[in-house]
Structure 1
C-alpha cells in the first residue's frame, strides 16, 4: 500500500512538472502567442536554450536592481528576442480596493505608447490608399482651421498645434468641470481661433493634440468610432486579444485603476475621455505581437517603414529625435534605439524595440514610478549601445 501511495505521489509530481513546463513554454515560444495566419514575420532564428538562460539571468538581475528595487513594481514587464520571451514578470494589483491581481492578461493603460498604435492605424490606411502622409489634414477634416498642416506633421510633432490641455483649461473656453472629447478639441480650435505655437514644419514640439486629431482622421476615413477602427485595423489582425481603446463613460469603473506611488488612487479628470494620444489599454504580450508585426511587410509596407523609422527634427544637436509615431535615440557611432515612453496620471510605461537586434522590451505600471524608464538601458545587454547599466534612466 505504501508503495502504491509513493508511486501515485510521484505520478502527480511528474504531471505537475509537465504542466509547469508547458506553461513556461507558452511564454517563450512565439507560435503560441500568434497563429501562423497572422502578420508574424518569418525567418527569425530560434534562440539556443543556453542563450535564453544566460540572458534571463542578466535581465532578471537588472529588473530586480533597477525596476523592482524594493519588490514594489506594480505592473507587467517583458523582454524578448526573435519573438521568444526571455523574461517576463507580473506583480501587484490592477485595483487595490478589490485586490485584483495583475497577470499576463491584465490590460494596463499605455499612456503615450498609445501613439505608436494610433500611428500604425494611419499607416494601414496609407498602405490601403485611403490617404497619403502629405495630405493636408484640412482635406480630410474640412473644419480643421490650419491649411498647411499635413498628416505627416501630426505624426512627427512638427505641426505647431497648441496643447489641448492648455487652451481648453480656461472656464470661458471649456474648464475642468466637463469631460472633453476629441470632437470638442476640433470645435474649440475653430470657435476660439486658437493660434499655432509656431509655423508648421519648422521645428519639433511634442504635443498630444496631434494624436487626438489623428484619431479624428481615422474615424473620418473609416466611418467607424476610434475604438472600432483600431480593432479592425490593428488589434484583431494581430490577435491583440487583451488590447482595446478605453471608452470613458462605459469602462471607467472596470479597467485597471491608476495610483500614486503611495497607492493613493488618482481620480479621473476632464481630459480622460481623449483618445489617440493615450487611452489604449494593452498587455506586454500583446505589445510583443505588435512589435513582431512591424518586421513584416504584410502589416506595414517596406517603403512606408523607411519613412517611419527615421528622424525628422535636426534643428538642435543631440541624440534624441522623433520619427512617425516613434522616438529615436541616434548616436554618431551608428547605433539607433526606437522607443516610446508614457506617463498619464499614475500610469508610467516604456516600449523599446531594437530593430537591428530584433529585441523587444516592455514595462507597464499603473502605480507611478519613474523606474520603468530605466528599461532602455538593457539595450546594452543585447548589442553595442552606449548605455552604462548603472547610470540613471530618463523619461
Structure 2
C-alpha cells in the first residue's frame, strides 16, 4: 500500500471518529463529577483577619440587648434551633436550644446541620455569579443556549436569579395539573425541565413583565451550574463554596444517602413531618448548614473581591419596579429600600417544619442568622435586632 493510500485511510478514520463524537449528544442529565480539572472551578475565598476588633464593653452591652430580644421572642427556651449575631465577622451572640431529633433526644449544637430552606437560594446565586465572574457564563445569556430542552426562548440567567422569568412553580403544576406527574415518584430537577419541555406547562406570566417568586427558577439554576461545571450540584457547591470556606458542617441533601441521617423537621405541636415527592429537588432548597458556617459564607460574600465591581453592583439592584414600593428582589437576595436611602438585605426560608432567616447588612458589617427545625414564625422576627446596628425602622424587642 502506497503512502497516499495510507494517508487517505488515516484521514477517513480520523474523520469517522470526529463525526461519531459529534453525534454523541450529552443530555442535560449526563453530569459527571470528574470531567473538569479541580482548578477550573471559581472558588470562594475565606477571610483571615477580621477588623476592626470590637471592644469588650460594646460586645457586652449589645449582647445583653440581644439576649433580651431572644428571651422575649422564645420565652422559656421555646426555640428549637440556632441563632447568631455577628459584627465584623466577630460573634456577639449565639444560642442553641432544643432537640435536633425529639425521639433520640439529640441536642442542637453549633455543629448540627439544619435545613436552611430558601436561604439555599442565596448560596445557589453565589455559585452562579462566581461562574459569571469567571466568564464561564453570561448573566444575560438565554437559558436555552445552556439547557437545550428549555422551552422558553426569552428567559435569561438573570431572569431566573431575579424571579422575572414568568415560570410556573413546579410544586403547583406537578400537584394540581392532571396527568403531569405521579406523586408516588420523587421529582428531580431534570424531571422538572423535561416536564416543562414536554407537557405544555406554559408560563405563569409573560417573561420579564413582573416579579413572581418561583422555586422553579432556582431548580433550573442548579441544572445550569451542573451543565457549566460538568459536575453534580452537590459536588460543585462543595468545591466552589463549602470546602474553600471551611464550611465543614454544610452539605447538599442527597436523598438516598442522607434521608436517614439528617435532622428531621416538626410541626409546631412537635409532630414530625415526613418526606414527600418534592424532597429531591435542589437549588431552591435542600442545603443543610449551621449558623457558624453561614457566617463564614456571608463574610466571604461581602468581600470586595468576591465579584468584579461592575457585577457586584448588580446583585443589590432592585429588579421589580413595575409597582412602586419598598420591597424588592436582587440577584438571589431580598431587600427593603426605604426613601431615606437605607437598605435592608435578607432572605427567609420555609420548608416542611424548617424555618430560616439570613440578614446581611454590608454597611454595618453585620450578619444575623436564625435556623429552626420546628415550625416557628418567630424565626423571621430576628430582623428586629437590626436597629441595634443602624437606622432600620423595625419595631425593636431589644430594650430592657
**Counterpart secondary structure, 1:317:** coil
Hey, what does 2:110 align to over in structure 1?
104
Hey, what does 1:322 align to over in structure 2?
329
Hey, what does 2:84 align to over in structure 1?
78
Give the one of 327, 348, 352 matched to 1:345: 352
> Greater CA deviation, 307-316 or 212-221?
307-316
Show structure 1 runs of 4+ deviating over 3 A.
none
**Counterpart secondary structure, 2:85:** strand
**Counterpart secondary structure, 2:272:** coil
| Aligned counterparts, 1:215-364, within 5 A | 215-364=222-371
* Counterpart-to-counterpart distance in 2, 1:214 and 1:267: 26
- The answer as to 2:99 corresponding to 1:93 is yes
**Counterpart secondary structure, 1:168:** helix
> Greater CA deviation, 186-195 or 151-160?
186-195
Hey, what does 1:159 align to over in structure 2?
165
Unaligned residue ranges in structure 1 (runs of 5+): 1-36
Q: Taking structure 1 as the reference length, what is the TM-score of the superposition?
A: 0.87
Unaligned residue ranges in structure 2 (runs of 5+): 1-43
* Counterpart-to-counterpart distance in 2, 1:390 and 1:356: 22
Contact in 2 for aligned 1:357/1:383 (Cα 8 Å): yes
CA RMSD across the alignment: 1.4
Displacement of 1:183 in angstroms is 0.2
Contact in 1 for aligned 2:189/2:220 (Cα 8 Å): yes
Q: Classify 1:43/1:63 alpha carbon distance in 2 versus 1 (closer, same or farther; 3 Å).
A: closer
Displacement of 1:390 in angstroms is 4.7
Hey, what does 2:22 align to over in structure 1?
none
* Counterpart-to-counterpart distance in 2, 1:238 and 1:299: 12
| Aligned counterparts, 1:132-143, within 5 A | 132-143=138-149
Q: Classify 1:85/1:43 alpha carbon distance in 2 versus 1 (closer, same or farther; 3 Å).
A: closer
Hey, what does 2:131 align to over in structure 1?
125
Q: Classify 1:89/1:390 alpha carbon distance in 2 versus 1 (closer, same or farther; 3 Å).
A: closer
Q: Taking structure 2 as the reference length, what is the TM-score of the superposition?
A: 0.86
Displacement of 1:41 in angstroms is 6.8
**Counterpart secondary structure, 1:76:** strand
Displacement of 1:84 in angstroms is 0.4
> Greater CA deviation, 91-100 or 157-166?
91-100
Q: Which has the larger radius of gyration?
A: 2
Q: How many residues align?
A: 354
* Counterpart-to-counterpart distance in 1, 2:49 and 2:136: 28
* Counterpart-to-counterpart distance in 2, 1:293 and 1:303: 18
Give per-residue Cα distances to partners, 1:355-381, cap 9 Å, x unaligned.
110000000000000001000111111
Contact in 2 for aligned 1:39/1:299 (Cα 8 Å): no
